[in-house]
Amino acid sequence: MATYDLVVIGTGPGGYVCAVRASQLGMKVAVVEKNATLGGTCLNVGCMPSKALLHASEMFEEAGHSFAKMGVSVSAPKLELPAMMNFKQQGIDGNVKGVEFLMKKNKVDVLKGTGKILGTGKVEVSADGKSQVIETKNIVIATGSDIARLKGIEIDEKRIVSSTGALSLDKVPGKLLIVGAGVIGLELGSVWKRLGAEVVVVEFLDRILPGMDGEIAKQFQRILEKQGFAFKLGSKVTGVEVNSKALLAKIEPAAGGAAETLEADVVLVCIGRVPYTDGLGLKEAGVALDNRGRVQIDPHFATSLKGVYAIGDVVAGPMLAHKAEDEGVAVAEIIAGQAGHVNYDVIPGVVYTTPEVSSVGKTEEELKQAGVAYTVGKFPFTANGRSKVNQTTDGFVKILADAKTDRVLGVHIIGIEAGEMIHEACVLMEFGGSAEDLARTCHAHPTRSEAVKEAALAVGKRAIHM
């Protein structure tokens, strides 16, 4: 019987990062993975492959619509979807091999099979009809999340697909109906819209991007509509009839009323994700779950069972790979007797469309609800020199600062490379910085990041370039 200091169940961004950090801290570590490859949803069927297709489809769109105005003359681009999918797969393979390398480099044992917690210090690993029991001082649950399903709508990953199937369609759908106007639906919708699909998004709420700053979401919706997206907000899909020619989706107003039928070639169900705890034996082992099926943890990631911890999508908080990574590092350090910590007030979020949307900290809606007095500084990319010469002027930067202390409470950006620009706000907020601190920090010219400085200046009503 093998004995470890730590066994991590799941090798997504939370799990494998936790294993690496624990090994760095001198622990004997094993990871348990039920899938053929390491890396979890993110590397195999999530963040990484979607970014490959977003990039490739953006290049296709650029070649077809933007090159000519820059004086670059090319013949009309021709889509070779199998080659694009191969480009995506190369990226997946490279990242998965990278995680395998990290496990070897850090002397982490990889146990292939399904992990089940038998109690404190015991994990059963089952594969191919055989099982073995592993003894360990500590266990970290990092099993991530699964797609959320709509009652009465069966996902076959061919015509009615989740995000997984939408990453591997064998042809561009004529009409793509997306259920859910969250991050994943809008990213995958962008891919197939650029490649030629007609895209309709149905959202139960009266807005897109729930949880994001409302003003940013409204502007983003207008930009997507200019790109050809159609939205049916305040609506729900109550059923999908499947026939040989098309899918017939029944759509009703969320508040009730007459139904309509929309025809589609592919329906993408993107209504969120749910914690993945199947087969872990949590109830039998005495690991408590909350009313949403998430593993309950204390402020140090400990579950109700001694020696068992949990991180990532399987616990409360935003379902983001980088949040899971930070938790993986923190829990490894806590197990090692150090002071691991995650600042949940500074977890950035990004939508990787064109333009991108990024945010960190509080939205205006959250500050109003909490009764916090705040000031706002905004700066549009139409007034940013680099954006003007590149003719990529959609969007703006918005900074929210405490009205009394000037401490930055939230930053929201919509624009090209917004996902890269958000990080100076993260660093500033991590150190409790003010809008004045950011406004007095020299920024290189000409860069899009100057818009962040100008927005900070605008908090004090002294922006220079508008």
The string of DSSP codes covering 336-379 is TTS-----TTS--EEE-SSSEEEEEE--HHHHHHHT--EEEEEE
Spacing of C-alpha 275 from chain mean position: 15
CA proximity to 335, closest of 7, 102, 9 = 7
Q: Are 356 and 414 a contacting pair, CB within 8 Å?
A: yes
185 annotated as belonging to a binding site for a ligand: yes
Backbone dihedral angles phi then psi of residue 221, each to the nearest 5 degrees: -60, -40
Residue 182, marked binder: yes
Assess contact for 393 and 226: CB atoms under 8 A.
Answer: no
Is 322 known as a binding-site position?
yes
Helices (H), 106-178: 163-166
With tokens 């064998």, the residue in question is: 170
Q: Does 321 appear as a known binding residue?
A: yes
Annotated binding residue 313: yes
Of residues 103, 140, 98, the one with CA closest to residue 333: 140
Q: Confirm or deny that 155 is annotated as ligand binding.
A: no
Query: Residue 30, annotated ligand binder?
Result: no
Say if residue 36 carries a ligand binding annotation: no
Q: Find, among 130, 134, 46, 30, the residue nearest to 88 by Cα.
A: 46
Give me the residue label for tokens 């093998």: 2
**144 assigned binding-site residue:** yes
Give the Cβ contact number of residue 263 at 10 Å: 14
Annotated ligand binding at 145? The verdict is: yes
272 known ligand binder? yes
51 is in an annotated binding site: yes
CB of 8 within 8 A of CB of 316?
no
Three-state DSSP at 401 gives strand
How far apart are alpha carbons 330 and 348 in whole angstroms?
Answer: 17
Q: Which residues are registered as beta bridge partners of 199?
A: 176
180 in a known ligand binding site? yes
Q: Are 173 and 183 in contact (CB under 8 A)?
A: no
Burial of 257 (0-12, 13-18, 19+ CB in 10 A): exposed
Q: What residues act catalytically?
A: 445
- Say if residue 181 carries a ligand binding annotation: yes
Identify the helix (H) or strand (E) that includes residue 4: strand 3-9
User: For residues 443 and 452, is the Cβ–Cβ distance under 8 A?
Assistant: yes
Q: Which is nearest to 359 in space by CA: 459, 224, 213?
A: 213
Regarding beta strands 175-179 and 160-161, do their DSSP bridges make them parallel or antiparallel, or are they unpaired?
A: unpaired
How is residue 442 annotated by DSSP? -
Please list the residues that pair with 410 across neighbouring strands: 361, 400
Numbered residues of the known binding site for FAD: 51, 115, 143-145, 313, 319-322
Numbered residues of the known binding site for NAD(+): 180-187, 203, 272
Numbered residues of the known binding site: 51, 115, 143-145, 180-187, 203, 272, 313, 319-322
